[in-house]
Amino acid sequence: MEEKLLTISQAAEYLGVSLNTLRRWDESRKLVAIKKDGGTHRYYREKDLEIFSSDLMKFASGWMQDGVEFPGTFYCATSSIFNARLTKMEYVLMQKPGFEKLYSLIVLIAGEIGDNSFAHNLGKWPDTAGIFFGYDMEKRIIVLADRGLGILVTLRRALPDLPSHVKAVEVAFTEFISGRAPEKRGNGLKLVREVVTDQLIDLFYTSGDAEVRMQGTDKTFRVTRGQRIVRGCLAKIEF
Amino acid sequence: MKLQLEKFGKTLISRELGSEAFKAFQTTLREISADEELEIDFSGVLTLSPSWADEFLSPLLNKLDDKLILLPSDNLSVHATLRILQEANKRSFKIK
């Protein structure tokens, strides 16, 4: 049986991007369209769109680093949109066998990281407001990213002497910060660290040139200096 | 008095919404007499985060002290969140 093809309008709706974006992606060969019998109309296989939209880390890091467009279904412009999408993810996750109890800790981790982006960048976003929030429950992966100020800049409001991205991320994940700080700081990342340490959940987190990798059997918390400096924050949660 | 926390939502995540919930609860809070206990019932709550809880439960603990009673819950996020709040505030919740 011949596979059903989607028109460019249907594909645009599927991915949440404009027709022009799809035409541009076709010309740059980022997402190549099918043209029937040498015609000019663009068509797409649903399977190809599914594969294309599954590379969450590529979209998130491309957007963070270079402002590269990504499917709009992953974009949360405001914290209320993020909350609504997080609730939807929670519902899907709690139906998953083996996650009947664990779901709440995974939602807590994603919720804290996503909410941090909004809480610390409100009214101060350098360019695009909002976050990337994508998940694939089959592959058991959640990716969150923002193009905000990053941990060092936001934490320096409370602790002006912080010397580096590495130190800032270390403080954010390990220390309770005084309530006298000019903005309220949560204890969310401290709890994220504890939960990831105790559970079969992996975390990759980066802000500036600081990186945290708590993966597999080595859950020792340490912040290292990476090769590149990224805008804002990016987190990958695997479970 | 018993408060069903799920009246504020089943997924209690953001600091902003925790603060809104605390403001909304003020009128009820004023009706509680000085010697009355306030019991917090977590049943129905799917996820509770430390940011939300820090805006709601931490100020309640400061205000009511040992008149604030938390009812037991088997939800993992409730357990984890209460643990970190106790550590951050350097004081314990009274759990029934």
Q: Determine, for residues A105 and B81 on separate chains, whether the beta-carbon distance falls below 8 Å.
A: no
For residue A1, the distance in angstroms to the closest alpha carbon of chain B comes to 44
Closest by Cα among A54, A53, A49 to A5: A49
Count of domains observed in chain B: 1
- B24 to chain A, any CB pair closer than 8 A? The answer is no
Strand order in the sheet with B38-41: B2-4, B38-41, B68-70, B94-95
Q: Determine, for residues A83 and B80 on separate chains, whether the beta-carbon distance falls below 8 Å.
A: no
The CATH architecture annotation of domain A5-52 reads Orthogonal Bundle (1.10)
| Segment among A163-172, A203-212, A222-231 with least mean pLDDT | A222-231
Chain A residue nearest residue B19, CA to CA: A184
Residue A2 pLDDT grade (very low, low, confident, very high; cuts 50, 70, 90): low
B36 vs A3, more confident: B36
User: Average model confidence (pLDDT) for chain A?
Assistant: 91
Buried/exposed A130-149: b ≥16 CB within 10 Å, e otherwise: bbbbbbeeeebbbbbbbbbb
Helices (H) and strands (E) in chain A, counts: 9, 7
For residue B80, the distance in angstroms to the closest alpha carbon of chain A comes to 7
Q: Determine, for residues A191 and B84 on separate chains, whether the beta-carbon distance falls below 8 Å.
A: yes
Tokens of A222: 């340490």
| Segment among A18-32, A139-153, B11-25, B39-53 with least mean pLDDT | A18-32
CA atoms within 13 A on the CB side of A20: 1
For residue A161, the distance in angstroms to the closest alpha carbon of chain B comes to 22
Name the DSSP class of A208: E
Q: Which of A105, A118, A188 sits opposite B76 (nearest CB)?
A: A105
Tokens of A3: 């596979």
Instruction: Write the burial class of residue A39 (CB in 10 Å: 0-12 exposed, 13-18 middle, 19+ buried).
Output: exposed
Contact predicate B60/A122, CB 8 Å: no
Please name every residue paired with B3 in a beta bridge, in sequence order, or none if there are none: B40
Q: What is the pLDDT of residues A44-61, one digit of tens each?
A: 998 888 888 878 998 998
Length of chain A: 239
Contact predicate A114/A205, CB 8 Å: no
Domain boundaries, chain A: 5-52, 56-238
Q: Please give the distance of CA A115 from its chain centroid, rounded to a whole number.
A: 12
Q: Which of B15, B80, B83 sits opposite A119 (nearest CB)?
A: B15
Return per-residue pLDDT of chain B as tens, 96 residues: 999 999 999 999 999 999 999 999 999 999 999 899 999 999 999 999 999 999 999 999 999 999 999 999 999 999 999 999 999 989 999 998
Residue A226: Cβ within 10 Å count: 15
Tokens of A51: 């594969």
Output the pTM of the full model.
Answer: 0.88
Contact predicate B96/B39, CB 8 Å: yes
For residue A181, the distance in angstroms to the closest alpha carbon of chain B comes to 15
Q: What is the pLDDT of residues A208-235, one digit of tens each?
A: 999 999 988 889 999 999 888 988 999 9
A52 Cβ contact partners less than 8 Å away, ≥ 6 residues apart: A15, A31
Chain B residue nearest residue A183, CA to CA: B15
Domain that holds residue B21: 2-95
Q: Does residue A181 surpass a pLDDT of 70?
A: no
Q: Angle at CA A174, nearest 5°, toward B81 and A130?
A: 70
In this prediction, residues A15-39 reach a mean pLDDT of 88
In this prediction, residues A72-93 reach a mean pLDDT of 96
Name the DSSP class of A197: H
Q: Does residue A178 surpass a pLDDT of 90?
A: no
- B21 to chain A, any CB pair closer than 8 A? The answer is no
In this prediction, residues A119-127 reach a mean pLDDT of 94
Q: Determine, for residues A104 and B17 on separate chains, whether the beta-carbon distance falls below 8 Å.
A: no
Q: Determine, for residues B11 and A86 on separate chains, whether the beta-carbon distance falls below 8 Å.
A: yes
Q: Report which residue type is found at A92.
A: V
CA–CA separation, A56 and A71 (whole Å): 10
CA atoms within 13 A on the CB side of A238: 11
Taking the CA atoms of chain A, what radius of gyration do you get in angstroms? 20
For residue A199, the distance in angstroms to the closest alpha carbon of chain B comes to 11
CA–CA separation, A119 and A52 (whole Å): 31
Tokens of B63: 């205000």
- The H or E element that residue A99 is part of is none
CA–CA separation, A210 and A218 (whole Å): 18
CATH topology for A56-238 is: Heat Shock Protein 90 (3.30.565)
Q: Determine, for residues B13 and A115 on separate chains, whether the beta-carbon distance falls below 8 Å.
A: yes
- B88 to chain A, any CB pair closer than 8 A? The answer is yes
Q: Which of A79, A90, A176 sits opposite B16 (nearest CB)?
A: A79
Q: Determine, for residues B77 and A104 on separate chains, whether the beta-carbon distance falls below 8 Å.
A: yes
Contact predicate A69/A60, CB 8 Å: no
